[in-house]
Amino acid sequence: MASLNVGNLGEYLREQRRNAQLSLRQLADAAGVSNPYLSQIERGLRKPSADVLQQVAKALRISAETLYVRAGILDEKERDELETRAVILADPSINERQKQVLLQIYESFRKENGFEVSEYADDVDVADIADDPHVAHDADAAPKDDPSS
């Protein structure tokens, strides 16, 4: 795990808070942290936990992963992968099985291109995907029900 660079994080948080036109007190209230604690984070005096960063990110409506990278909790490549996975999982136009299949294909391409397979990847054989009746239907059609599942 990388060391925390809380000064850089604090400057970034202050910039994001100002861009959102929030006072320190307003952001502290929205994030559920104390005003003095948030002030100390912004000044680089405190090392916030991942949970606090997540609350602040939610209040600022920015990516928690971006704050994790700024804090040194997550590296840039991990963030990109997590964001890709999050976008796929949040897509309401595809069903859960399709999301899992898409993630499996994504992981197989990453592996083929020499990247490590994510710790978040499922252990499902991508070769089995072609036989899955849930994958072959059009996106506009209703998902097929599989009575065996």
Handedness of CA 13, 33, 53, 100 (dihedral sign): negative
Give the Cα separation of 10 and 1 in Å (integer): 19
Confidence (pTM): 0.53
What are the per-10-residue average pLDDT scores of the chain (149 residues)? 57 94 96 96 92 94 84 78 83 91 90 72 43 43 45
Q: What is the pLDDT of residue 23?
A: 96
Q: What is the pLDDT of residue 20?
A: 93
Q: How many CB atoms lie within 10 A of CB 76?
A: 10
Q: What is the pLDDT of residue 142?
A: 43
Give the Cα separation of 78 and 2 in Å (integer): 12
Cβ proximity of 27 and 56 under 8 Å:
yes
